[in-house]
Structure 1
Amino acid sequence: MTTASTPAPPTPVPVHRRVADLAAAHIGSWQECYLKDRSSAVAALARLRRGAGREAGETPDLWSLIDTDPLHTAAEGTRPLSEPELVRAENGLHAALTLWAFHQQSRGVPMHRRHTRERPGGLGAAVRQLMPIDGIDEPVRKRLVRAGTAPDLVTLTLRLRDIVALLRRDDIPLDYALLTGQLYLWQWPDGPAAVRRRWGRSFHEQRRRPATDENTTPDTDKDAS
């Protein structure tokens, strides 16, 4: 007699991935509409920018704009988040969305672009693109180092804003979903050191690629640096 096998339980989705996916969903919708000059998206970005440099919850105007319901419900393959997890998830989401809104302001091309192996989208890789191909711009590098040594998330967000201003100037995109997950991890003990390592690895592994790579669509690597 054949015994039916019991299906394996789904692999739990890490919290940082849940937060990253939620950021991607929000930004994907807003960015598409913003680039089509839809008034609702233009207004949403203006509201988001006003929340920059503040903790989540300090800007009531954003409560109805940033939908965090998916963090409060346990879908298949997930579990209910604890209160500390929720607080850190909401803080990371808020910080990343407000930074993206500043980055995207008045730009006619997407400033959020998902990371791929061929086109790295991590913070370190983006900072490296600000520099000469065969050299290091020390003041720019120090901005990244200074961000990594921030004492708290609000300070980190303000220091990242200085970097985003440079990226915005040069139309260099960033994977804000990836950044959201990293900002969530950064808030835990040992998190800053782990995130700094990811940014450093991303910085050193970045290589400028020819323009023909703009049309490639390799597999994404959401957990890359």
Structure 2
Amino acid sequence: GAFSQEDAEGLITLFEEFREGLTESDAEVKAVNRHGDSRWYKVSMSAIFDGSGRPLKVVGILSDIDEQKRKLQTAEESAMKDPLTQLYNKVSTKALIEEYISANQNQGAFMMLDIDNFKRVNDTLGHLYGDAVLSELAHTLKSLFRDTDIIGRVGGDEFVVFMTNINELAVIRTKAERILSAFKRPFRTENAEQGISCSIGVSIYPGHGSTYDELMQKAD
């Protein structure tokens, strides 16, 4: 397989460091085969020197660490997600939005959503019904927005959607209307039917703020 350009450049830099006197080093690299499948490897390298202390060559051991790497990746992703809805949790939602803000001047839209009278729904119909409502809203949001948008559950019945790279403000109104219309129908489960509505607040980056907290405050 072939290494990515970034990994290949990293290895070249490492060899230069060996030439300058580095004695040993480890690196993690991803190799891609001709079918496009990738695997992670650990390269453990040591320099061999001549009698004068000059580096003669570098020898290395290649270890397949793909399984450990993927398990770690899955664990990291799980830690970023809300267990019920599988949306980003509050901490990762804020971190991802701030990461976008720090790297982009492109306009974005911050949408704050909360379910109206959710406590009453929970109290009268039970937490299982409430959980079903939250999961349904999460499913609706995932179906309406792009993979590049950031969708998170930031409180009991509070959700945030951050739309990245927005050129037309009209698209925000359209999305908001589609969310509201999804909640106009009664929400049914096996044992109950309840009319559910939600409220949406919107702020625009960078016009209304340049931090997560500022945008949240303006949208709330």
TM-score by shorter chain over 0.5? no
Q: Which has the higher strand share?
A: 2
Q: Which has the higher helix share?
A: 1
Higher relative contact order (CA 8 A, sep 6+): 1
User: What TM-score comes out, normalization by structure 1 length?
Assistant: 0.27
